[in-house]
Amino acid sequence: MTRYGPVGVAVVGCGTVSHEYLPTLTAAPDVRVVACADLDLDRAGAVAARYGVPHATDVSTAIQHPDVELVVNLTIPAAHDEVAGAVVDAGRHVYNEKPLSMDREAGARLLTAAKTAGVRVGGAPDTFLTAGMQAALGLLVEGAIGSPQSALLLMQSPGPESWHEAPEFLYQPGAGPLFDIGPYYFTALVSTFGPATRVAAVGRQAFPHRTIGAGPRAGTSFPVRVPTHVTALVEFAGGQVATLVFSFDSALVRSGFLEITGTEATMALPDPNAFHGQPRLRRATDEDWVPVPVPHRRSSRGMGVVEMAQALRLGRPHRASGEQALHVLDLMLSIADAVETGGFVPVRSTFTLADPLPAGWDPTVPTLVTGRSWQ
Ligand SMILES: NC(=O)c1ccc[n+]([C@@H]2O[C@H](COP(=O)([O-])OP(=O)(O)OC[C@H]3O[C@@H](n4cnc5c(N)ncnc54)[C@H](O)[C@@H]3O)[C@@H](O)[C@H]2O)c1
């Protein structure tokens, strides 16, 4: 059946991050949020009421609602595979929060199942679609730094246990600075250079135990089971290289540092883990950084869903793709493997690099009109 106008969306998982998605989705004329669902029906009801969503239901009713074409999966990571698999089985498109999946094989199975079913997979994060990041990517494509050669990336902090009341999970396999913060930085990196081909890394721990600093369990010590400092090298298919540090072992906080150096200049990208920020450019002749003009438009969590919905109607590829999200997962797992083995590890997955968004793109500006689509 050919459909026209706004794309019908269901949000599955009505926890913390749903309150960031729903303001974006309900402000976007090209999507219509039809249903909210959660294991906790009261929570789904409260979220639906707050954002004016007409239906609050269990997961399978939401997925199978006749008006729902695209399901936004905001469940906890351990439920991502099961929920996304059910969505694809029901013949609906799915957009997953990060990580795309718990492992490479399950992620690849999801993409294969979607292809067979003729539906699409999208994946967070969508921070690479902010106005600042896209302005920077547009300039890089136009040659503003000459030929891009290398990237330098730094995220260091003391870790979240001083303010987080239950930080244990952040120091267990599947988390740590690499997996917790990495998706934002790696998505920015691969949307600049394209797919990576191999990595090397070392990892270490400054402290075998950490102590909770806030809340009723303050003072409780717990074991650290992942590297809390990772230094990695990444090589890309285009020949560029990146040097990265992800650390929870530093009293000094320094984050959002991602610089791309080319043959003629260096571009400092905005913080890849934020929805605001201005890129800066520095040529050999510049005495200081020069801010890059950024168009004023809405940049908020969920815009990747809006862009995917527009792409569905218009029959073009969407930018926050499942292939890109799987590649980012593969890249992080490969770095973790390299920490274990001490050698270079090949990265075998790949994806197609999207063009930067058109300068005037804004998720609150309609691209699809009821009755027919244009462009
Ligand atoms: N919290 C944040 O600031 C943040 C930021 C970026 C990304 N994320 C990502 O968003 C996702 C959700 O995180 P959160 O912080 O909102 O978690 P949360 O625990 O606050 O909410 C998750 C919700 O999913 C529901 N749920 C769990 N399993 C389910 C299932 N099988 N079917 C239906 N509902 C189910 C839970 O009942 C809960 O309401 C995670 O993948 C996380 O990595 C969170």
User: 81-131: per-residue pLDDT in tens?
Assistant: 999 999 999 999 999 999 999 899 999 999 999 999 999 999 999 999 999
pLDDT at residue 375 tops 50 = no
Index of the ligand 1 atom closest to the CA of residue 14: 39
Distant-in-sequence, close-in-space partners of 178: CB < 8 Å, separation ≥ 6: 203, 226, 227, 230, 246, 332, 335, 336
pLDDT at site 338: 98
pLDDT mean over 41-65: 98
Distant-in-sequence, close-in-space partners of 300: CB < 8 Å, separation ≥ 6: 20, 23, 24, 275, 363
pLDDT mean over 335-347: 97
Q: Kindly state the helix (H) or strand (E) to which residue 63 belongs, with its residue range.
A: helix 59-64
pLDDT mean over 293-311: 96
Question: In this predicted model, what pLDDT tens digit does every residue of 189-204 receive, in sequence order?
Answer: 999 999 999 999 999 9
Q: Closest Cα to residue 25, out of 45, 47, 3?
A: 47
pLDDT at residue 371 tops 50 = no
| From 36, 75, 94, mutation site for ligand 1 pocket: most ligand atoms within 8 A of C-beta | 75
pLDDT at residue 148 tops 80 = yes
pLDDT at site 368: 79
Check if 42 has its Cβ closer than 6 Å to any atom of ligand 1: no
Check if 281 has its Cβ closer than 6 Å to any atom of ligand 1: no
Q: How many Å lie between the centroid of ligand 1 and the Cα of residue 47?
A: 13
Mean pLDDT of the chain: 95
pTM of this prediction?
0.95
Q: How far apart are CA 321 and CA 236, in angstroms?
A: 19
Q: How many Å lie between the centroid of ligand 1 and the Cα of residue 278?
A: 29
pLDDT at site 102: 83
pLDDT mean over 303-319: 97
Q: How many Å lie between the centroid of ligand 1 and the Cα of residue 98?
A: 10
Check if 57 has its Cβ closer than 6 Å to any atom of ligand 1: no
| From 12, 14, 16, mutation site for ligand 1 pocket: most ligand atoms within 8 A of C-beta | 16
Check if 210 has its Cβ closer than 6 Å to any atom of ligand 1: no
pLDDT at residue 74 tops 70 = yes
Check if 74 has its Cβ closer than 6 Å to any atom of ligand 1: yes
pLDDT at site 369: 60
Distant-in-sequence, close-in-space partners of 291: CB < 8 Å, separation ≥ 6: 278, 279, 280
- With 0-12 / 13-18 / 19 or more C-beta atoms within 10 angstroms meaning exposed / middle / buried, residue 66 is exposed
pLDDT at site 247: 97
Please check whether residue 257 is in contact with residue 181, taking contact to mean a CB–CB distance below 8 angstroms: no
Q: How many Å lie between the centroid of ligand 1 and the Cα of residue 75?
A: 4
Q: Where are the beta strands (DSSP E) in the chain?
A: 7-12, 31-37, 55-57, 70-73, 93-96, 121-123, 148-156, 196-204, 209-211, 221-223, 229-236, 241-247, 254-262, 265-268, 280-283, 290-291, 345-346, 368-369, 372-373
pLDDT at site 154: 97
Q: How many Å lie between the centroid of ligand 1 and the Cα of residue 221?
A: 26
Please check whether residue 69 is in contact with residue 93, taking contact to mean a CB–CB distance below 8 angstroms: yes
Determine how β-strand 221-223 pairs with β-strand 209-211. Answer: antiparallel
Residue 2 pLDDT class (50, 70, 90 cuts): low
Q: Which range has the worst mean pLDDT, 130-134, 176-180, 301-305, 369-373?
A: 369-373
Please check whether residue 201 is in contact with residue 233, taking contact to mean a CB–CB distance below 8 angstroms: yes
Index of the ligand 1 atom closest to the CA of residue 18: 16
Q: How many Å lie between the centroid of ligand 1 and the Cα of residue 95?
A: 13
Index of the ligand 1 atom closest to the CA of residue 82: 31
The residue whose CA is least distant from atom 27 of ligand 1 is 75
Q: Which range has the worst mean pLDDT, 52-61, 224-233, 363-372?
A: 363-372
Residue 360 pLDDT class (50, 70, 90 cuts): confident
The residue whose CA is least distant from atom 40 of ligand 1 is 76
Please check whether residue 8 is in contact with residue 37, taking contact to mean a CB–CB distance below 8 angstroms: no
